[in-house]
Structure 1
Amino acid sequence: MRLLLGVLATALAVWVAVLLVPGIRLDSGTLTERVWTLVVVAAVIGVVNAVLQPIAKTVGCLLYVLTLGLFGLVVNGLLFWLSSWITGRLGLPFEVDGFWAAFWGALVVSVVGGIANLVLVRPLTRGDRDR
């Protein structure tokens, strides 16, 4: 249940990024197609982050320390851009035009996704910790 809610929170965050960031587009016709695309994009973002982010943090450890963690924003932007490329290869109508759109999109997705997780996921799964 927590995984599904997390994907839905990320899908909501990607939708907000599509609305706010120029250079991020979702070109689908019907509402059902848009929702399906957002859910798949959110799942791809989750898999890419789960697999590659620990590797990037390990390899770029010195850069994280030297920039006081700001290098993490660059890594998140690159991972968001990679997720866009993967979804494009899957034939989904989700596009990110360049690094800066990916950078700002990743920032929006991080902030909105974090808030959505606090509002949606945490209250509904609070009972899991009580057991």
Structure 2
Amino acid sequence: MVEFLARWAITSIALAAAAQVMDGIGFNGPDHGQAELEHKLVPLLGVALVLAVVTALVKPVLVVLSFPLILLTLGLFLIVVNALLLLITDWLADLLDVGFHVTGFWPAVGGAIIISITTWVLDAIVGVEEKE
């Protein structure tokens, strides 16, 4: 349970970093001050949970289907896979009326890179390990 909460927090921080840095990724509502924190914290946690579920369920299928491209590009195609996961998360968040949006493929690629790097750094700092 502690690992799940740590991973959820790390994903939330990484998603917040992507939304802060990338112009095409964001949440609806106020864009500064205490009002922004109050209106966007719950949607951020919800979208992080949706992203975690999408990653757990869809990513293995996409990785298997795109394995030749991943091999051919020496793993760089995983950025495209992660961008697709972010676009799927955007679509699900829209269905759930969370107020999260990704405006296109290239912002999703940028967001995927930011989320991957942030998650990697925070995993190294916190030391969260997946059970085998």
Q: Taking structure 2 as the reference length, what is the TM-score of the superposition?
A: 0.87
Q: Which amino acid aligns with 1:90?
A: L
Partner of 2:95: 89
Q: Does 1:76 align with 2:82?
A: yes
Matched residue SS, 1:101: helix
Hey, what's the Cα distance between the residues in 2 that align with 1:6 and 1:36? Answer: 16
| 2:116 paired with 1:115 | no
Structure 1: distance between partners of 2:7 and 2:124: 10
Is 1:19 matched up with 2:25? no
Superposition TM-score, scaled by structure 1 size:
0.87
Q: CA deviation at 1:79?
A: 0.7
Over residues 109-130 of structure 1, what are the superposed CA-to-partner deviations in whole Å (9 max), with x where a residue is unaligned? Answer: 111122122223x2xx68xx9x
Q: Match of 2:62, SS?
A: helix
Q: Distance in 2 between matches of 1:33 and 1:101?
A: 23
What code does the residue aligned with 2:15 have?
Answer: V
Equivalent positions of 1:94-109 (< 5 A) are 94-109=100-115
For residues 57-107 of structure 1, the C-alpha deviation after alignment (integer angstroms, 9 at most, x for no partner) is 111111111111111111110111111111111111110000000110011
List alignment gaps of at least 5 residues for structure 2.
none
Segments of 5+ residues of structure 1 without an aligned counterpart are: none
Q: Distance in 1 between matches of 2:95 and 2:68?
A: 33
* Residue in structure 2 matched with residue 7 of structure 1 by the alignment: 8
* Structure 1 Cα separation of the partners of residues 77 and 123 of structure 2: 24
Where do 1:40-55 residues align within 5 Å? 40-55=46-61
Counterpart residue identity of residue 14, structure 1: L
Provide the aligned C-alpha RMSD in A.
1.7
Q: Which has the higher helix share?
A: 1
CA distance in 2 between counterparts of 1:69 and 1:96 reads 24
